[in-house]
């Protein structure tokens, strides 16, 4: 299997992978490749010391899903390497097969997200109402969520029913999900926070919750509310990406 076949296979199987290429340097090295797997393993042999550095940097880039160029010293002089990382499409889990959920699914699919809908109520979560979701899951949120959530997952809790909302919010807040939001007015959100506090959820965990959900764009219709939710999720994703990029050491950010 050559580098292109391996990258294609990883993309198809939704596995993360990094690819490094010499883009500036001695003619003989131009276009040389390294493939780096998520466990830091991989292949590509140009020069032992360089191989080690490239693998290390590519692995770090892969952890934060960043692509870019680095300058590295080599026995042949300074060379420039482009590291590209492929990370699976981010995941949006919608809890509650509501009208806002339908609109949110459409917007998320336009943005190439994988969308999962969780709702134990079969009358709400039907394939007819949600033709675009990747998976319909008829289960209680606290049972379904833990297995579905990755660090690239956003959770939007939209049922408006504390029986479903509260367990979903608790499960999501205690997961690696990068975003958790819950629908409801300021009053509803304040009452929810009170209930969660009484259940012993610590303040620093509650601070992760986006409620009322969505950016304040004066949204009124279900579609506008869905837009405000997706905008908030994208904003949070960008903020975290910036923070992760800033955490990469200076020498690797050339």
Catalog residues that contact another protein under the rule CB under 8 A.
2-4, 7-8, 11, 21, 23-24, 27, 30-31, 67-69, 82, 84, 86
Which of 20/158 has CB closer to another protein?
A: 20
d(CA 21, CA 7): 13
Strand pairing partners for 154? 92, 179
Q: Which is nearer to another protein, 30 or 190 (CB)?
A: 30
User: Using CB atoms within 10 A of its CB, is residue 93 exposed (0-12), middle (13-18) or buried (19+)?
Assistant: buried
Q: Could you tell me the smallest distance in angstroms from the CB atom of residue 42 to another protein?
A: 16
Q: Which of 30, 110 has the CB closer to another protein?
A: 30
We find the least distance from the C-beta atom of residue 84 to another protein, in angstroms, to be: 6
Minimum distance from residue 71 beta carbon to another protein (Å): 12
* Shortest reach from residue 17's CB to another protein, in Å: 10
Q: How far apart are the first and last CA of the chain?
A: 31
C-beta separation of 22 from 31 below 8 A = yes
Cβ atoms 117, 125 nearer than 8 A: yes
Helix (H) or strand (E) holding 135: strand 135-137
In degrees rounded to 5, what are phi and psi of residue 21?
A: -135, 135
Q: Based on CB atoms, which residue is closest to another protein, 20 or 180?
A: 20
Q: Which two tokens stand for residue 121?
A: 């109520």
Choose between 16 and 222: whose C-beta lies nearer to another protein.
16
Tell the smallest beta-carbon distance from residue 20 to another protein (Å).
Answer: 11
Beta carbon nearer to another protein, 42 or 184: 42
Q: Indicate the length of the chain as a whole number.
A: 254
Minimum separation from the CB atom of position 247 to another protein (A)? 18
Find how far residue 98's CA is from the centre of its chain.
23
Minimum CB–partner distance for residue 33 and another protein (Å):
9
Answer whether 88's CB lies under 8 Å from 152's CB. yes
DSSP-assigned beta bridge partners for residue 180: 155, 209
E strand or H helix that includes residue 144: helix 141-148
Give the list of residues 6+ apart from residue 201 with CB closer than 8 angstroms, or none: 170, 173
């Amino acid at each position: 299997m050559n580098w292109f076949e391996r990258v294609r296979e990883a993309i198809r199987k939704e596995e993360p992978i990094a690819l490094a290429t010499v883009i500036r340097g001695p003619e003989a090295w131009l276009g040389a490749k390294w493939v780096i797997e998520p466990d830091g393993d991989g292949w590509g042999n140009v020069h032992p010391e360089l191989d080690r550095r490239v693998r290390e940097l590519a692995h770090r880039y892969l952890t934060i899903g960043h692509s870019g160029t680095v300058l590295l010293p080599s026995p042949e002089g300074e060379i420039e390497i482009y590291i590209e990382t492929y990370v699976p499409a981010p995941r949006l889990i919608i809890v509650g097969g509501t009208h806002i959920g339908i609109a949110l699914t459409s917007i998320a699919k336009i943005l190439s997200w994988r969308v999962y809908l969780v709702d134990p109520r079969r009358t709400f979560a039907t394939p007819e109402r949600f033709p675009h979701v990747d998976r319909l899951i008829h289960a209680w949120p606290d049972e379904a969520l833990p297995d579905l959530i990755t660090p690239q997952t956003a959770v939007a809790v939209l049922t408006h029913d504390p029986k479903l909302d509260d367990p979903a919010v608790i499960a999501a807040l205690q997961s690696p999900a990068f975003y958790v939001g819950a629908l409801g007015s300021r009053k509803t959100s304040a009452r929810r926070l009170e209930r969660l506090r009484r259940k012993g959820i610590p303040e620093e965990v509650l601070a992760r919750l986006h409620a009322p959900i969505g950016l304040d764009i004066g949204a009124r219709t279900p579609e506008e509310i869905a837009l405000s939710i997706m905008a908030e999720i994208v904003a949070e994703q960008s903020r975290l990406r910036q923070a992760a990029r800033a955490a990469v050491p200076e020498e690797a950010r050339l």
